[in-house]
Amino acid sequence: MLRSLMRLIIVVTLALGLLIIVAVGHQLLQGVRSTTSHITASLKKTNIDGDDDWEDWRKNSTLDTSASFVYVHNKRADAKVKQYLSPNADDVLEVKPIKIPFLTHLYYRPGIGFLYHRMVHARGIYYTLWQNMKPQLAVLERVIQVTAMILVLTLIITPFYIRRMIKRLTDPLTALSQTTQVIATAKEPGAMQLPVPATPSEVTELAGNFNELLSMLNERQEQQKLFVMNAAHELRTPIATIRSHAQLIERHGESHPEIIAKSVHYITEESRQMQQLIDELLQLSRADRLALELHHLNLSDTVQTIMQKNHANILTESCHFDSTKCLRQRQR
């Protein structure tokens, strides 16, 4: 994650720095273009046709001759002087400037640097201007330096910030992972809870959702325990009845054969009740796939059947203690 974020930040910073450099360079070039346009327009209006015109223009002009170089070429037939050069212009023209590809009017003069070239003419007189771009390049160089410093500072500071951010995010996740492993090995996982960190909000929400899930799991485990206890209790009663009648037949069946039929009837009835209870449990396990069937229930008959069954169970239990009294009651 750290390497991926670092690559992303480096790419974004480099792209942003490059865009800033290009934008500033373009703006500086536009400024030079505008300045040279105004200077050449002024030269066209002056109409330098002789020494007097040239001297007047030199005196009245505010042109910085240390950065702007003017070359006037008079091609009129009656011209006494064919060319005029501003100070230092002859030094510029000693070596032919090299044209910069893809950029109009931009040249490079060894020993001087980049020059912006513009030429206009009016009434047979050609005015050539070479504008030194050293001030603009100094500004662009400063922008490049500042951009490089920002990139270096970004590369130095960003790893610490990213590590801190990742630590803030991963520490709560690590704690959740460790607690989850403990819960997975616990006997009662539903009774345990995950720690809920205050930040970040995403991890807080995740821990809260897990705790809700654990609470729901614990609640279902308790319901399952209660269900198993109830099912065991419901099965214990008919099993006890069957055993009681089986023991009664075993002890007194040979001497009192009349009790066999009733005991067998109770055993059959209780086994049928057990089978019904088991079927109901199986249906309950498939309750999510079954449709609920409703039917009428005669409550009076049901209560009477339960009372008779309870009376028979009590009588059977008493037979273990007093078999003679049991036989007299059954004969009645």
**Is 162 contained in some domain?**
no
CATH number at residue 206: 1.10.287.130
Domain final position from 134, 155, 176: 155
Two structure tokens written together for 320:
């273990």
pLDDT-derived band of residue 314, with 50, 70 and 90 as boundaries? low
What dihedral angle (degrees, nearest 10) is formed by the CA atoms of 17, 20, 26, 30? -150
| Chain centre distance of CA 238 | 60
Domain final position from 155, 181, 215: 155
Two structure tokens written together for 303:
């209560």
**Is 184 contained in some domain?**
no
Query: Using only C-alpha atoms, what is the Rg of the chain?
Result: 53
Q: What is the mean pLDDT of residues 141-165?
A: 85
Domain final position from 155, 178, 207: 155
| Chain centre distance of CA 42 | 62
pLDDT-derived band of residue 77, with 50, 70 and 90 as boundaries? confident
Q: What gap in Å lies between CA 71 and CA 128, rounded to an integer?
A: 5
The dihedrals phi and psi of 166, each to the nearest 5 degrees, come to: -65, -40
**Is 297 contained in some domain?**
no
Same domain, 80 and 134: yes
Same domain, 15 and 75: yes
Q: CB burial class (10 A; 0-12, 13-18, 19+) of residue 184?
A: exposed
Same domain, 114 and 204: no
**Is 302 contained in some domain?**
no
Question: Which DSSP string do the residues of 288-311 spell out, in sequence order?
Answer: GGS--------HHHHHHHHHHHHH
CB–CB of 37/197 below 8 Å? no
Task: Kindly list the strands in the beta sheet with 125-132, ordered across the sheet, starting from the edge strand earlier in the chain.
Answer: 83-85, 68-74, 125-132, 113-122, 106-109, 98-99
Same domain, 150 and 204: no
Same domain, 136 and 248: no
Same domain, 129 and 51: yes
Q: What is the mean pLDDT of residues 11-17?
A: 87
In the chain, the amino acid numbered 205 is E
Q: Is the confidence at residue 183, as pLDDT, over 50?
A: yes
Q: What distances in angstroms separate CA 211 from CA 70, 77, 207, 314, one per listed residue?
A: 83, 101, 6, 49
pLDDT-derived band of residue 23, with 50, 70 and 90 as boundaries? very high
pLDDT at 293: 67
Two structure tokens written together for 107:
């040249």
What is the extent of the structural domain holding 131? 2-155
pLDDT-derived band of residue 19, with 50, 70 and 90 as boundaries? very high
Q: What is the mean pLDDT of residues 29-41?
A: 89
pLDDT at 330: 46
Among residues 278, 250, 277, 262, the alpha carbon closest in space to that of 313 is found at 262
Same domain, 218 and 147: no
pLDDT at 94: 83
Two structure tokens written together for 126:
């050609």
Please count the structural domains in the chain: 2
Two structure tokens written together for 279:
């079927």
Q: Is the confidence at residue 201, as pLDDT, over 70?
A: yes
Question: Considering the entire predicted model, what is its pTM?
Answer: 0.52
**Is 160 contained in some domain?**
no
What DSSP designation does 124 have?
A: T
| Chain centre distance of CA 110 | 55
3-state secondary structure of 203: helix
Q: What distances in angstroms separate CA 55 from CA 50, 84, 86, 276, one per listed residue?
A: 9, 10, 11, 127
Q: What are the helix and strand counts (H, E) for the chain? A: 8, 6
Q: Is the confidence at residue 207, as pLDDT, over 80?
A: no
Q: Is the confidence at residue 229, as pLDDT, over 70?
A: yes
Q: What is the mean pLDDT of residues 159-174?
A: 78
| Chain centre distance of CA 140 | 39
Same domain, 144 and 21: yes
Q: Is the confidence at residue 200, as pLDDT, over 50?
A: yes
Q: Which residue has the higher pLDDT, 301 or 128?
A: 128
Among residues 180, 170, 229, 172, the alpha carbon closest in space to that of 196 is found at 172
Same domain, 103 and 15: yes
CATH number at residue 75: 3.30.450
The rounded percent of the chain whose pLDDT value lies above 70 is 87
Same domain, 140 and 224: no
In the chain, the amino acid numbered 250 is E
N-to-C CA span, the chain:
89
CA 201-207-210 angle, 5° bins: 145
* 323: Cβ contacts below 8 Å, ≥ 6 apart: 251, 252
